[in-house]
Structure 1
Amino acid sequence: MTAYRRLILLALALATLVVVFGAYVRLSDAGLGCPDWPGCYGQFSPLRAAADIRETHAADPQGPVSLPKAWKEMIHRYLAATLGLLILAIALLAWRRRGAPGAAPRLAAALVGVVIFQGLLGKWTVTLLLKPAIVTAHLLGGLTTLALLAWLALHARAGAQVEVPRGPISLITLARAAFALLAVQIALGGWTSTNYAALACTDFPTCQGSLWPAADYANAFHVVRELGMTADGEVLPLAALTAIHWSHRIGALLAATVLAALAGSLLRRSVTRHLGAVLLAALAAQLALGIANVVSGLPLPLAVAHNAGAAVLVIVMVWITHSLRGVRVPASAAHRREGHAGRENSYA
């Protein structure tokens, strides 16, 4: 099982890189650097397609195609393909060792299904010309892959350990609610990014000088439409972009409040204090990055870091949720504690 766990950790690290690099590709406007899929102008690499890329760029120098953008897009595809192969290998190993503790073959098989659908979303992102609904779904698919790999890694690590009583129901419920709000907030962040609405409000904490700016929520959240357009084919107005941005800020306030409450609850219990400290640090960093992006005009490094912060929060919340199912300790430690009453009181 050691090799199996190491393979999962490698895939988890690569999935994090794929999510963060995918954000870099999107935020640097390189999503259509190769306007076909899975290759680039029918070639395996931009090097072989260089003549076609240069010709397209010469015809439209301000367009989405250039050699640097093509390399960014294809490197992301290479990384994603490698991740897919790693996940397939994990699933095969899980089924071969399905009787071993921590193998989780069904979860590994479900992960393969998620990755296949994620590959289709990657294809549609290009072929449907960055349609916001598809690009947002692609982002959420990447974070879902990351979350499942994190859960699989924790499950494999806990396979050789003994489970002791889980956390109280109230804490578990709070953690699930916080995770659900985080998922909604990430979806709002993805919608903000894919609609290029991050700069609709350039002041903080107000937006365009108001705590309730003029906004067009109907067009903002009409899902089936082209990039930058309303459902009727008109140019998406600033009021719609404002609605998207402001919704993301309101979501951030709600999610941060519940996540901070969860961190406080974890900090008050000795057995979960480390989880609360990590969550509070990740949340503070993410909020600081969000504010910095607004007031500094969305510089690329900070924008990518904000996406990375979302990935970190997802991993932390998977860790917390998994831990609250039953705090696990090595078997030797569990035996030493036999006869010691009041283990559940450590949650009190």
Structure 2
Amino acid sequence: MTESILYSSYSSSSIASVPIRWIRWLVWKIAIATLVLMAIGAATRVMNAGLACPDWPLCYGKVIPTQEMNLQVFLEWFHRLDASLIGLSTIVLVVLSWWYRTKLPSWLPWGCTFALGLIIFQGILGALTVTQLLRFDLVTAHLATALFFFGTLIVIGSNLSEYQGNDTVGNLTLISFVATILVYIQCLLGGLVASQWALHQCFGGNQLCFVMNSHIIGVFPATISCLVLIFFSWRTPALSEKLRNLTQYIGLILFSQILLGVATFYLHLQVEPLTIAHHTMGAVLFGTLITFTIFARKDSIVSPILPPKSA
């Protein structure tokens, strides 16, 4: 099943078609908007703006709360605006994928529909986080679904992207997949720490230290798996250029993320831009690992039967 999906997504006739170029462009734009949305969500959380708009879906009963507008209200209002635009764009994506389904890989309309289901569920969680006054389990589930939606878009976009491999990845697909799962779990642990303000509570009253420590301990398996991926990628001399570039990005992002994590810890989350960057960089690492996994999977399955690159 996976092999057929990857091969059909890369067939030269479908990749060259106009509908698939439109959909690929839209998928990547929604993915970028989702990354921005998660960054705004992190800013909303660290700035204590999660309840700046006391009602939902409007804000103070208005589409644009001009009279009540301040930094906190703006963050929460803009977070909802970006989420609404992503939802509308995803609806357009689903309509296009089903309208042109005869010219697209058979899995694509279903994949886009699944993404729409996630964004609907995400909207429900977003409403509940407000009406239930930022309950930590709902806030964490909200983050988990956002990351899963973001990852789904990356999977779709990567499968639709042109790629010429060398069939030399070995076990890199499995290693990158494991690293992706561990980074996802680590992102959720970070969200759990943030939603319960565990760092502040641990330092201030020795409470919820086990939540904070779980995130600290989680750094090690996630980091080691990424380092193993980088190590074996460097030891693969015939690795494709795209995978080699992705390996470099993973190394840079990982190094930056560790520095940001150490800084936010020792500064006790007092510098909001560092905390926001730490949350966002985790999502970027997660997305980059997904892209590596998809391309490596293509390399091991598709490349032996791909037509040669045109000059």
Shorter chain as denominator, the TM-score bin is 0.7 to 0.9
Q: Is the 8 A contact 1:104 1:155 kept in 2?
A: no
Q: 2:308 aligns with which of 319, 333, 347?
A: 333
Q: 1:162/1:281 Cα in 2 relative to 1: closer, same or farther (>3 Å)?
A: closer
Answer yes or no: is 1:28 the counterpart of 2:47. Answer: yes
Distance 1:144 1:318 in 2: 11
For the Cα contact (< 8 Å) 2:187–2:279, is it kept in 1? Answer: no
Matched, 1:186 2:153: no
Residue 211 of structure 2 is matched in structure 1 by 244
Matches within 5 A, 1:86-235: 86-101=89-104, 104-158=108-162, 165=167, 167-168=169-170, 170-200=171-201
Describe the superposition over 1:79-122 as per-residue Cα deviations: whole angstroms up to 9, x where unpaired: 10001111111111111222334571111000000000000010
The 2-side partners of 1:67 and 1:280 are apart by: 38
Corresponding residue for residue 291 of structure 1: 262
Code of the residue aligned with 1:317 in structure 2: it is L
- Does the CA-based 8 Å contact 1:136-1:190 persist in structure 2? yes
Larger RCO: 1 or 2 (CA < 8 Å, sep 6+): 2
SS at match of 1:198: helix
Matching residue of 2:289:
317
Distance 1:268 1:166 in 2: 11
Match of 1:7 among 7, 26, 33: 26
Give the SS at the match of 1:46: coil
Q: Larger helix proportion, structure 1 or 2?
A: 2
Range with bigger deviation, 276-285 or 300-309: 276-285
Distance change >3 Å, CA 292–CA 163, structure 1 → 2: closer
Range moving further from structure 2, 149-158 or 22-31 = 149-158
Q: For 1:290 and 1:149, locate their aligned partners in 2 and report how far apart those are by CA, in whole Å.
A: 26
The answer for the alignment partner of 2:228 in structure 1 is 261
**Shift in Å at residue 238 of structure 1?**
3.7
User: For the residues of structure 2 that align with 1:243 and 1:74, how far apart are their CA atoms?
Assistant: 33
State how far apart, in whole Å, the 2-side matches of 1:323 and 1:260 are: 18
Distance (Å, rounded) in 2 between the aligned partners of 1:166 and 1:105: 31
Q: How far 1:301 sits from its partner (Å)?
A: 0.5
RMSD: 2.3
Percent of matched pairs sharing the same residue? 28
TM-score by length of 1: 0.75
Amino acid at match of 2:145: G
Counterpart pick for 1:77 among 57, 72, 80: 80
Contact 1:267–1:274, Cα closer than 8 Å, also in 2: no
Q: How many residues align?
A: 283
CA distance in 2, matches of 1:201, 1:278: 34
Alignment match, 2:9: none
Question: Greater CA radius of gyration, 1 or 2?
Answer: 1
